Structure 1
Amino acid sequence: MERRAALKGLATAIGGLVVLPSWASNWNHTTLQPTDLLSAEETPLLASVVDTIIPKTDTPGAKELGVDRFIQLMIKDCYDSKAQETLKKGLATVEEDSKETFGKSFTACNAAQRIHILEGMGLSDDATSKGFFTMVKGLTIQGYMSSEYVMTNITKYEMIPARWNGCVPVNQ
């Protein structure tokens, strides 16, 4: 190996280790910037879908933790335009199914009606509906589990788990 390549690799590794703590820090709903991915009508609809997937119990729900903004940010920054269109078409389908089935908007439905609509999308033969539900459900779980509240209050997140304690008494 050449010395320049070795030094370049070493510098990259050290830089990565210096930046890692700031990159891997927990997010919360105040750190997420609003995106222009969804319209003003679609944003509360996504929040209702997220709230249906992980509702509020004795712990905050996904909507309360701002997971809907996390999903918008992830899809805008990390997914291709096809996934962005799937999100928009899926939200339109949710609204249409709600109006056809129950005669009212998805946000106005009760919890059982919302679950019925989302379960129907998950079991649908339509690739767009099923893709939407799978994508939003996965991102909801990811966003909820990596939120600051869950990481600090529920899972007791440790940046470097499995400490090594060298001074442990050994019994014979």
Structure 2
Amino acid sequence: MERRVALKSMAVAMGAMAGLPAWASGWNKSSLKVGILLSADQSAVLKGVVEAIIPKTDTPGAGELGVGDFVQKMVKDCYDKKSQDTLAKGLETLNTQSMKDFNKAFTDINRAQQTQLLTAMEKSGDADQKAFFGTVKNLTIQGYMSSEYVMTNITHYEMIPARYHGCVPVKQ
């Protein structure tokens, strides 16, 4: 590598490192919005779905930890347009089926009825419904297990494991 190229690369890297804190300090929860993938009604149904997959027990449920927003953000940012459409269509199908079977929206029916609808969707012969449920289920588990609450209170994640305790009293 030539010296000029190396010096130019180092100068660019130093400039980026100097500007990064100023750029990142403006971040807050409102500036990192989920994005507009789903309507408010669809977001509420998605929150109900993730809560039905991992309900609240002695630990918070997936809906309470904001896993619905995680699922929506992951599908919006990491999945193709077809998968995004499958998510929106699956939520609409779920809500329509709930209205047809129970005369109530998915968010208004009880947990047993929600589980019944989700089980029927999982066992459905329709490939889109299976894809919807599989995607939401996998992302719900991923979002729940990587949430701050679970990582700190249940799995006791340590960023740097195997600490070294140098000064430990020794018994004779």
TM-score (normalised: structure 1): 0.76
Tell me what 2:93 maps to.
Answer: 93
Residues 161, 105 of structure 1: alpha-carbon distance in 2 compared, 3 angstrom cutoff: same
Note the alpha carbon deviations across 1:35-85, whole angstroms, 9 max, x for none: 100012111010000110011111000000000000111011111111101
Which structure would you say has the larger Rg?
2
Instruction: Return the letter of the residue paired with 1:141.
Output: I
Shift of the alpha carbon at 1:99? 1.3
Q: What pairs with 1:94-109 in structure 2 (closer than 5 Å)?
A: 94-109=94-109
1:36-51 matched pairs, under 5 angstroms: 36-51=36-51
Instruction: Provide the rounded CA distance (Å) in 1 between the counterparts of 2:39 and 2:87.
Output: 12
Structure 2 match to 1:54 = 54
1:1-57 residue CA offsets vs partner (Å, 9 max, x unmatched): x799xxx9xxxxxxxxxxxxxxxxxxxx88962310001211101000011001111
For the residue of structure 2 that corresponds to 1:60, the secondary structure is coil
Cα distance per residue 1:107-136 (max 9 Å; x no partner): 111000000000001111100100000000
CA RMSD of aligned residues (A): 2.8
Unaligned runs of 5+ in 2: 4-8, 10-28, 167-172
Cα distance change on mapping 1:115 and 1:31 into 2, 3 Å: farther
Taking the TM superposition and a 5 Å limit, the aligned residue runs for 1:6-85 are: 33-85=33-85
Q: Percent identity over the alignment?
A: 58
1:129 corresponds in structure 2 to 129
Cα separation, 2, equivalents of 1:67 and 1:31: 18
Q: How many residues align?
A: 150
Answer yes or no: is the 8 Å Cα contact 1:95–1:105 preserved in 2.
yes
**Alignment of 1:149 onto 2:149:** yes
In 1, the alpha carbon distance for the partners of 2:120 and 2:98 equals: 11
Instruction: Give structure 1 regions of 4+ aligned residues with deviation exceeding 3 angstroms.
Output: 29-32, 160-166
| Separation (CA, whole Å) in 1 of partners of 2:101 and 2:142 | 30
Summarize the Cα distance change of 1:105–1:160 in structure 2 as closer, same or farther, 3 Å threshold. same
Shift of 1:159: 2.4
